[in-house]
A and B are shown apart, each in its own frame.
Chain A
Amino acid sequence: MIVSRAIPAGLVLALLALLVLAPMAGLLHLSALPGYEPADLRFWESAYLRRVLYFSIWQAVLSTLFSVLPAILVARAFAMQPDLPLRRLLLGLFALPLVVPGVVVVMAVVSVYGSDGWLPLGRSLYGINGILLAHVFFNLPLAVRLLLPLWQVIPQHHWQLGDQLRMNAWQRFRFIEWPLLRETLPGVLLLVFMLCLTSFAVVLTLGGGPRSTTVEVAIYQSLRFDFDPARAVMLALLQLGLCMLVAMLTLKLQRMPEVEVAISTPYRRRSATLPVVVNLALILAATLYVGLPLLSLLIDALQGPVLKVITNAQLWQAFVNTLFIGLSAALLSAVAGWFLLQYSASLARQGRVTGARLIDLAGSIVYVIPPLVIATGMFVLLSPHVDVFDWVYPIVIAINALMGLPFVVRCLGPSIRQSHARYHRLCLSLDLQGWNRFRFIEWPLLRRPLGLAIALVAVLAMGDLGVIALFGSTQTATLPLMIYQQLGAYLISQATVTALLLLVLCLAVFALLERGIGGKSDVAN
């Protein structure tokens, strides 16, 4: 019942708070010690900070809108064409951009849209255009994958009613599709906003110059070059506050669907030709948009020293390290997210909607505390007591699990909530609790979104460069780290091959996890 659900959720929340707050406290404490820069209060009133804030928000908002709004259309197109050939492959492709390290994305985007590229934009690439291009590349596919399951929840008779009432496409969207979108869309918007706000390499390199400084860059600068931990923490908190504001806004937009949805099977509507053509065009456009940079990466890589890279034992060791980190982080994230979401779902079922949303928010918003801050803070706390080098894996896994939590919340949240709303009382009355409940009821019904969530977090953690770069050393090399090292040593073509390998491996892992955990058939909702 409620009490028992609250305990594991409370534990997870406590751990989250600890993981996020303790390192920041450590950093603040550090800056109070002698030998550190005294706080320069001028900074907090400077025009520089204002500019930085403004730009950070502006590019994040623009990127979010350009990513998510088209994603709605594309997801819809996919949903309307359930019999599309290669559908699975295309959707799998859409999981890839998130994996690619920022620095490789920059190269790929330049390959396509740069001066020597296929669709040259010239110098206007470097500025908000470039940032948008790269951000949309990252986030549109993600948003599509997160929004697509919504259409499968729409009951058949709603469509039939719409046809009967001779609704046109816009009316169908407004009355049938939008109500369900309204529940999930704010969460997706928030997630993409956070991803764009904290984006670093992309903004700095494709942004064209210091005009494109974001809060994340300022944090990086404070911690690394100025060695002003207090300022870094304050900026991190500022970023957190910003996201809370955005979250509050999105909370206002959210509405629970009024209709209790019955068991439904996907409704195959016979559409006229024009809508089908439009849908196919949308899918094609999205695929090209996502595919071209990946294709350019493929082409560049195949021209590189493929054999040399593949036969390098170090590479395979790095791959194993990468896989280990990815899977562990995914598992940890999924378990933590599971407990949080179960509690949130029971709150929602009781009508305590705000409480439920706050729990979801807590799970998501930790994303915006930069891993650099957490990692450095953890370091400060741990290094007097232990040899930090021995703790690299646990720390990297923990931070990556933290970074993956918002994705788990997005993927799994709606399904858990629905399953809970429908079957909780039934399970109670049949004394279906604990392990029995999990293996007979929850696992079969929730496998699919769980599989997606785990697969996403795994590849996200596998492609992570930020955290491992801070804590790792060459001994604990991962593939992204190797790529970055190669790039830094003139070995650009080698780096491209390694990046391709990373991508292929991630694709394989993603497919295996999604299939293996998610199962094959479409379980009825």
Chain B
Amino acid sequence: MYSVLFRVTAGLASLLLCFSLQAAAPKLVVYTYDSFTSDWGPGPKVKAAFEATCDCTLELVGLSDGVAMLNRLKLEGGNSRADILLGIDTNLTAEARSSGLFDAHGLSLQSSALPNPWQDDLFLPYDFGYFAFVYNKEKLASPPTSLRQLVDDSDGPTLLIQDPRTSTPGLGLMLWMKKIYGDKADQAWAKLSPRIVTVSKGWSEAYGLFLKGEADMVLSYTTSPAYHIIAEQDLRFAAARFEEGHYQQIEVAGMVRSSQQKELARQFLAFMISEDFQKIIPTTNWMYPVVGGDKIMPPEFEQLIDPAPALLLDETSVAEQRKRWVEEWLEVMSR
């Protein structure tokens, strides 16, 4: 009762606006992560844009992150309110697939900005990014130009990274090292370890510490500098370009099998890969849009490094091996 009362207080304006629509309009429930639904994220704009075309209400439910979302869906089983799950990345899709909770979307993604054609019938991508080490240009004059250089240079820059057990970038870096070094990843980690200042729980802690000057570089995204440039007019930050390429993170959405609004869900997914949705992404989610390319990206994005080639391990290997790989990583890092 109390929560209803305050929802009304906060969203009075939009509520009044939608009142006429709400009376008969169907509702589409999307589970997504917190930063998507927050004020400064894509959520509000997406909601406004979709509701303008759909004659419905879009309810975005923010649950902390991708992992939490998927777990929640699993726990709810067939009783979930969710129609769409938006915000898991390709490291989780295998698990999501095997849960049997999703239905085919039936859409095709013809031209996308992704390097490889999209073939997943269960999940559709909506944005992607690349992991990279971000640094302060004023403090680090010559950053490493490859992952190998970063690892081998024992006088190299100090690093802040995240824990692969609790964070997606952390997991991304671990997979990145695996991709480049394969079975020799352990030795690479051993070489890197002395320069790692700390391994934090999540992206925010590491990035926050980096901004406080605790280390020379932090594991983040190639698009991180874009935030500083556009929102803060701060040109000091850049991502280090590695010649082997950068590990990719593709974020996807899927339609929940138990949904009662499958038509509407498909409509949303189609909307998701259309320009109306995609143009919102760059400056709210700080990732690359899958559709639209240069037309919709702000000019400042041109200042970002070119992360090609995109590195990615296939989802099946990740699903099968992740646990073992994490244990090996733990082994090396705990010494």
Where the two chains meet, the residues of A that have a C-beta atom closer than 8 Å to any C-beta of B are 30, 35, 48, 51, 103, 106-107, 110-111, 114-116, 123, 126, 200-201, 204-211, 213, 217, 220-221, 223-227, 312-314, 317, 320-321, 324, 376, 379-380, 383-384, 387-389, 392-393, 469-470, 473-476, 481, 484-492
Instruction: Give bound CA distance, A449 to B89, whole Å.
Output: 50
Contact B7 A490 (CB under 8 A): no
Cβ–Cβ contact B201 & A469, under 8 A: no
Is B3 located at the chain interface by the 8 A CB criterion?
yes
**Chain B positions 190-209 with a Cβ under 8 Å from a chain A Cβ:** 193, 196-209
Residues of B within 8 A of A227 (CB): 71, 74, 95
How far apart sit A388 and B73, CA to CA, in the bound complex (Å)? 12
B291-334 at interface with A (beta carbon < 8 Å):
323, 327, 329-330, 333-334
What is the chain B residue whose CB lies nearest that of A220?
Answer: B166
Whether A384 contacts B165 by the Cβ 8 Å rule is no
- 18 A-B pairs besides A221-B166, A476-B3, A489-B40 with CB distance below 8 A are A123-B197, A126-B198, A204-B166, A209-B196, A210-B199, A217-B166, A224-B68, A227-B74, A227-B95, A314-B39, A383-B77, A387-B81, A389-B81, A393-B3, A481-B34, A487-B204, A488-B34, A490-B227
* 21 A-B contacts (beta carbon < 8 Å): A106-B209, A114-B209, A115-B214, A116-B212, A116-B213, A123-B158, A205-B206, A208-B199, A210-B333, A211-B334, A223-B71, A227-B95, A324-B2, A383-B79, A469-B64, A470-B64, A470-B68, A486-B40, A490-B224, A490-B231, A492-B204
Residue with the greatest number of chain B CB neighbours at <10 A, chosen from A111, A115, A388, A474? A474
Is the beta-carbon distance between B67 and A114 smaller than 8 angstroms? Answer: no
Is B259 among interface residues, defined by CB-CB distance under 8 A?
Answer: no
Q: Is the CB of A204 within 8 A of B214?
A: no
State the CA gap A389–B3 with chains docked (Å).
10
CB distance from B123 to the nearest CB of A (A): 19
Q: Is the CB–CB distance between B323 and A226 below 8 Å?
A: yes
User: Which of B2, B39, B95, B204 is A103 in contact with, Cβ under 8 Å?
Assistant: B204
How far does the Cβ of A119 sit from chain B's closest Cβ, in whole Å?
Answer: 14
Contacts of A489 in B (CB 8 A): 35, 38, 40-41
Across the interface, do A225 and B67 meet the contact criterion of CB distance under 8 Å?
A: yes
Q: How far is the CA of A314 from the CA of B207 in the complex (A)?
A: 25
Complex formed: what's the CA distance from A387 to B303 in Å? 47
Known contacts A51-B334, A201-B205; A474/B6 CB under 8 A: no
Contacting residue for B165 out of A221, A470, A474, A488, CB 8 A: A221
Contact of A392 among B3, B79, B95 (CB under 8 A): B3
A-B pairs, 9 with minimum CB distance:
A474-B62, A487-B204, A116-B213, A204-B201, A126-B198, A205-B200, A209-B199, A474-B37, A210-B333
Interface of A is mostly: helix
Given A220-B166, A473-B62, do A115 and B213 touch, yes or no (CB 8 Å)? yes
* Residues in chain A near residue B61, CB distance under 8 A: 389, 473-475
Whether A474 contacts B38 in the complex (CB less than 8 A), given A204-B163, A210-B330, A487-B204, comes out as yes
Chain B residues lying within 8 Å of A492, measured Cβ to Cβ, are 204, 207-208, 211
In contact, A485 and B38 (Cβ under 8 angstroms):
yes
B6 contacts across to A, CB distance below 8 A: 317, 320-321
Q: What are the residues of chain A within 8 A of B95 when measuring CB–CB?
A: 227
- Is A107 within 8 A of B212, CB to CB? yes
Chain B positions within 8 Å of A, measured between CB atoms, are 2-3, 6-7, 9-10, 34-35, 37-41, 43, 60-64, 67-68, 71-72, 74-77, 79, 81, 95, 99, 158, 163, 165-166, 193, 196-209, 211-214, 224, 227-228, 231, 286, 323, 327, 329-330, 333-334
Instruction: Let me know if B40 and A491 touch, CB within 8 A.
Output: yes
Q: Which residues in B have their C-beta under 8 angstroms from that of A491?
A: 40
Is the Cβ of B213 less than 8 Å from the Cβ of A114? yes
CB distance from A50 to the nearest CB of B (A): 12
Contacts of B329 in A (CB 8 A): 210
B332 to chain A: closest residue by CB = A210
Q: Are B75 and A110 neighbours in the complex by a CB distance under 8 Å?
A: no
Q: Is A107 in contact with B213, judged by CB distance below 8 angstroms?
A: no
CB proximity of B334 to chain A, nearest CB, Å: 5
Residues of B within 8 A of A211 (CB): 333-334
CB neighbours of B79 from chain A (8 A) = 383-384
By the criterion CB–CB under 8 Å, are A475 and B81 in contact?
Answer: no
Complex Cα gap A96–B99 (Å)? 44
Please pick, from B10, B63, B166, the residue contacting A313 in the complex, using a CB distance under 8 A.
Answer: B10
B196 touches A224 (CB 8 A): no
- Checking B75, B166, B330, B334 against A225 with a beta-carbon cut-off of 8 angstroms, the contacting residue is B166
Bound state CA distance, A225 and B162, in angstroms? 15
A209 contacts B62, C-beta separation under 8 Å: no
What is the bound-complex CA distance between A392 and B6, given in angstroms?
14
The reply to whether A380 and B75 form a contact with Cβ atoms under 8 Å apart is: yes
Whole-angstrom distance between the Cβ of A491 and the nearest chain B Cβ: 6
A201 CA to B37 CA, complexed, in Å: 24
Cα distance A389–B60 when bound, in Å? 13
- Minimum Cβ distance to chain A for residue B208 (Å): 5
Nearest CB of chain B from residue A478's CB, rounded to whole Å = 12
Q: A200-B201, A313-B10, A392-B3 are in contact. Are A110 and B166 (CB under 8 A)?
A: no
CB pair B34–A383 under 8 Å, yes or no, is no
Complex Cα–Cα for A209 and B201 (A) = 9
Which residue of A has the minimal Cβ distance to B226?
A: A490
Residues of chain B contacted by A388 (CB below 8 angstroms): 76
Residue of A nearest to B231 (CB): A490
Q: Are A209 and B198 in contact (CB under 8 A)?
A: yes
Query: How far does the alpha carbon of A207 sit from the alpha carbon of B196 in the complex, in Å?
Result: 12
Q: Are A210 and B163 in contact (CB under 8 A)?
A: yes
A374: min CB distance to chain B, Å: 14
Q: Hey, which chain B residues are within 8 Å of A226, CB to CB? A: 323
- Chain B hits for A314, CB < 8 A: 10, 39
A217 to B81, CA, bound (A): 30
Task: Given A103-B204, A321-B6, verify A205-B37 contact (CB < 8 Å).
Answer: no
Min C-beta distance of B153 to chain A, whole Å: 18
Contacts of B74 in A (CB 8 A): 227
CB of B205 within 8 A of CB of A103, answer: yes
Question: In whole Å, how far is B221's beta carbon from the nearest beta carbon of chain A?
Answer: 10
The minimal Cβ–Cβ distance linking A58 to chain B, given in whole angstroms, is: 14
Chain A neighbourhood of B81, CB < 8 A: 387, 389
In the bound complex, residues from chain A placing their C-beta under 8 Å from that of B68 are: 224, 470
Query: Cβ of B334: which chain A residues have Cβ within 8 Å of it?
Result: 51, 209-211, 213
A379-B212 Cα distance, complex, nearest whole Å: 38
Please measure, in the bound complex, the distance between the C-alpha atom of A476 and the C-alpha atom of B6, giving whole angstroms: 9
Q: Which of B6, B43, B201 has the most CB of A within 10 A?
A: B201
Which of B3, B37, B63, B212 is the one whose CB lies under 8 Å from A110?
B212
